[in-house]
Structure 1
Amino acid sequence: MARSDEQNRQARERAREKILLAAIELFGEKGVAGASIADITRRAGVAQGLANYHFGGKDQLISAVIDRWFEMLFGIPQVPGTPDERLAGIIDGVFMATGFAMPVQRAVLSMQQQPVTHRLFAESEERFGQQATESENIVRELFRERGAADPALEEVMLRSTLEGAIIKYAVYGESFPLEDARRWMHRLYGLPEPTAPLPLDLPPRDEDLRIRAIRAVRSC
């Protein structure tokens, strides 16, 4: 029995998503230069020609991975409530995304640093420019309501601190104390202590806290 147009569309979407997820995994594991289209389609379990059909080439596939990261970043839900509740929601949302989406975080982190892909990252950032500005303005207004003298600087420093935690978790894996870092940020901004841990499968913190890259290697 022939498939309907809708079934064909769904099959194409599934194949595209498989390729994208395989690219995220392999770019995170091997870097962009170390992962070929053949490697990616083999990991995805699809014909190699489908990568060109859906993305057109490796650069376009890299851009799609970066776009997925921006979609995830700007898809973090906004928590309603007081300025403190909204700030806590932003912090918790970023730490949740860090714990759940480490493959894409690790892949995009390498792309931000490499000259060969920095242009693609900048182009993707430009595509999401309006969303980035709107997101920044939301956070700046939040700090303005909290009485900050320089809301723009507060927004930049919050983003820089959160991005630092993302980078550390990407590099050092489970040896980085993600839950404790989240609680530290709550204290930094004078927010109430969280009543429950994030719903992530995190190992207990080492008593002698030392972050080591070998833990990230072992978790790959």
Structure 2
Amino acid sequence: MKKDAAKKSTRKRLLDAARVEIVNGNGDLEVANVAKRAGVSDGLTYYHFGNKAGLINAIVNAFYHDLDDKVAGVPFDGDTWKEREKARVHAMVSLFYDDPVAMIAATRLRTDPAFTQEELERNDRLEQLGARNIAEAQRKGEIDAAYNPLMLASMLLSGVMSGVRIALTTTPPLSVDKAQQSVWGFVERAAGLKDIDL
């Protein structure tokens, strides 16, 4: 038991150190620097993660687990799809603002050829979740049934991610409140919930 606890503790220290290094390196890191920051040998880092790609993938996976726990897999309160999804969008934007690794994981790291298959699987799972959610809203008459649920889910997911990226990287970055308002405004219109004022 003590051995298992020690292994978990070492792995956590390495991941925490890697998060700092990957933010400082804007999506890149050196295993030696991670080991030094964590106070362990390079060899122990390779023991836990195999190689540099394995370490980076562990960071990306940790982010997506966090996304599931706080956003994708959460049954938000609300009587309507609109109310629940507005809360979900606000939570997603907040996650990206609160976690400096989030935008790196969802943009630069997701395009790394080493992670292409996992990224496709993650994206497909999120789109399928969104499509089921939209289809249920269509059955209740809350979203126009003419929309293809999977297509709409895919477009909304892409649009939200792009909106958050711009909000965070523009100079100066938008405030979290403004970003939440802008991203939700896009979702509301794209899902046909609000007419555009001309």
Q: TM-score category by the smaller chain?
A: 0.7 to 0.9
Q: Which among 48, 51, 55 is matched to residue 49 of structure 2?
A: 55
Q: Distance in 2 between matches of 1:104 and 1:59?
A: 17
Aligned to 1:19: 14
Q: Cα 1:15–1:174, aligned 2, differ >3 Å: closer, same or farther?
A: farther
Q: Distance in 1 between matches of 2:113 and 2:63?
A: 14
Aligned to 1:79: 76
Aligned to 2:152: 154
Q: Distance in 2 between matches of 1:47 and 1:63?
A: 20
Aligned to 1:105: 103
Aligned to 2:39: 45
Identity level (%): 19
1:99-132 deviation digits (Å, cap 9, x = unpaired) = 221224224422234xxx2331x23225547743
Q: Distance in 2 between matches of 1:44 and 1:174?
A: 33
Deviation at 1:61, TM superposition (A): 1.1
List alignment gaps of at least 5 residues for structure 2: 194-198
Aligned to 2:180: 182
Deviation at 1:54, TM superposition (A): 0.9
Q: CA RMSD in A?
A: 2.7
- Matched to 1:163, the amino acid is M
Question: What secondary structure is seen at the aligned counterpart in 1 of 2:45?
Answer: helix
Deviation at 1:133, TM superposition (A): 4.8
Q: Give the 5 Å matches for 1:158-169.
A: 158-169=156-167
Q: Distance in 1 between matches of 2:48 and 2:128?
A: 30
Deviation at 1:135, TM superposition (A): 1.8
Question: What secondary structure is seen at the aligned counterpart in 2 of 1:175?
Answer: coil
Deviation at 1:62, TM superposition (A): 1.8
TM-score using structure 1 length: 0.69
Q: Cα 1:153–1:52, aligned 2, differ >3 Å: closer, same or farther?
A: same
Q: Distance in 1 between matches of 2:55 and 2:171?
A: 26
Q: Which among 69, 91, 94 is matched to residue 93 of structure 1?
A: 91
Q: Which among 120, 123, 126 is matched to residue 117 of structure 2?
A: 123
Q: Cα 1:11–1:24, aligned 2, differ >3 Å: closer, same or farther?
A: same
Q: Which has the higher contact order (CA 8 A, sep 6+)?
A: 1
Q: Distance in 2 between matches of 1:154 and 1:108?
A: 20
Aligned to 1:138: 132
- Contact 2:23 / 2:101 at 8 angstroms: preserved in 1? yes
The alignment status of 1:36 with 2:26, answered yes or no, reads no
- Contact 1:169 / 1:176 at 8 angstroms: preserved in 2? yes
